[in-house]
Chain A
């Protein structure tokens, strides 16, 4: 029971950053810009928040700085890929490489392997929600998370509304579905792509802060460990729909929680649990694609 509880709590805990990346990435996906820089931008958020927190001792400043830097990276990504028409995949890869390199450079210069925000007590950042925490079983699972974890789940609803009920969401999808049509309607397609990417960068910033500052108060390099790519897999599986993509993100989160908790008993075998989501992803993509192909009448190869 104790174990089950801790698995469930960890599922929420591990889902949050992936969820944020997914929710940030879907708009770019719908606007037809594959943003594989999610990973790098998230890492930048994690790094900057801890670095600023370490030097200034101001939590708010740390959050803001992380968001600022990530938005700048988003701007760089958009400028290179949308305005200058660079190859999106390559630009994304480059950002994924530059961020850890700069972080490593700065940490090497400081002479440390991890940055530890010692003044911060992580337990203080956990919010207990007054009524919910008293519910017998669910309470300890749903309550006692840092603020961004709550925000991430809240964002599922926010992003659904933004995507389907607002002018921005509709236009962003039109841009992705048929750019020429969007242009002929007088939509500024590049502007929508920029906004979609920046929205993603903002969410990734939150994911990064959640991962490093809020949970552990420290930064080690490459601590995002491929979560950005997991998010891309989830987005593809859910075809960019906020709710179904989020569901896949949560599946990945649960697998992570299982792997971590089983690791205490099963030893190295637990690492294999981390593989399950990738297999699930491949199967889902195949099924989706196979169904699509069955209904397709055009000549192909």
Chain B
């Protein structure tokens, strides 16, 4: 039975991907290139050369973490849409800690930066989590909109108090050498990937083997019942949001220390590593191993996009189109899974009105 379910899941996951690539192929045809050739270059360079594969793994590192950050809350039917904001907040202050603290040796400095990033991520995730747990404020709306508030706050911090004065554009000072991850070999791959892998292993155990992982699923299915059987749902919500925020913060910190080295207004790119994490969690069906595979696949798309620009005349934005379409098509199959968002929104809005009737 498990085998059959797996096959259905696999088809449900692969079909949207193929559909998205087909439409992307049509777009490529319009620009007068051969889609097979373009896709060949894209994946050939990003997966089948050692340098390209190293780069792919490098960019997969933060995605693994954001994907897990989203999956752990979504599984409990809590929607932390603020992973992007938490990641930026964590990344920013990890960068500040990396730049202003001097004279530390490498390992403690990096650990400190990770700790700062994780703490910031947790702190920012706690606002919606507390509101949700104690006041039942819809965390989806709060986390979603707070991302934009965070962009503004960081815009202020990076152009005001923490601005690097000598620079021609808005950015923070570059982090110290001791906080930087060094590249291994000729690709961009750094130790951060292995940090991400270690966290992945921890999260795999948490989600698959621990009682917390079981409770997450229980809460996701029926929070009232879970509470009635003695689980402290409120406390679990806080814990899950904290884990999610910490993962996001660590992803931001790692990205800062292995790739960006300073905060600029385009930190984490467009649409952002947190949003990418959403797609990865979807693509990986919220299972840890699925997320690992999905992040590497997604990262291959990203690194492949740069090669498209280099070797063909197709605008590399075609990859962004394909990514968006993938999400679109994955959404439809999503309801086959247990996480029924639609009915959740209904129940979230309903209790008040029902209460009044009683």
Q: Which residues of A contact B (CB under 8 A)?
A: 32, 34, 36, 80-81, 84-91, 93-95, 97-102, 104-105, 108-109, 177, 179, 222, 225-226, 229-230, 232-233, 236, 267-269, 271-272, 274-275, 278-279, 281-282, 285-286, 289-290, 292-293, 295-301
Contacts and interface: CB of A to CB of B under 8 A. Distances in A.
Given A301-B223, A301-B233, A89 B356 contact: no
Contacts of A86: 331-335
Contact of B160 (A88, A232, A236, A268): A268
A93 B162 CA distance: 32
A199 to B, nearest CB: 19
Contact of A300 (B227, B320, B321, B334): B227
Contact of B317 (A108, A281, A285, A295): A108
Contacts of B209: none
Interface size on B, as a range, is: 35 or more
B311 to A, nearest CB: 16
B310 to A, nearest CB: 14
Contact of B141 (A81, A104, A232, A268): A232
Contacts of B345: 32, 34, 88
Interface string B308-347: 0000000111101101110110111111000001100110
Contacts, number: 183
Given A90-B282, A272-B156, A298-B358, A36 B144 contact: yes
Given A93-B275, A100-B320, A102-B317, 6 more contacts: A105-B318, A108-B316, A281-B145, A293-B135, A298-B354, A300-B227
Nearest to B271: A97
Nearest to B355: A296
B141 A177 contact: no
A285 B137 contact: yes
B184 interface: no
Nearest to A281: B145
A97 B275 contact: yes
Contact of B153 (A36, A94, A272, A301): A272
B202 interface: no
Contacts of A98: 321, 324-325, 328
A101 B318 CA distance: 7
18 contacts: A34-B345, A86-B333, A87-B334, A87-B342, A88-B341, A88-B345, A97-B275, A98-B325, A101-B317, A105-B318, A230-B145, A232-B144, A233-B141, A236-B138, A274-B152, A279-B149, A286-B137, A301-B226
B349 interface: yes
A177 to B, nearest CB: 7
A100 B270 CA distance: 10
Interface string B209-253: 000000000000001101110000110000000000000000000
A293 B332 contact: no
B315 A229 contact: no
B327 A97 contact: yes
A193 to B, nearest CB: 11
Contacts of A275: 149, 152-153
Contact of B320 (A89, A101, A286, A292): A101
Contact of B349 (A32, A267, A290, A296): A32
B356 A295 contact: yes
A88 B356 CA distance: 28
Nearest to A277: B149
A278 B354 CA distance: 29
B37 interface: no
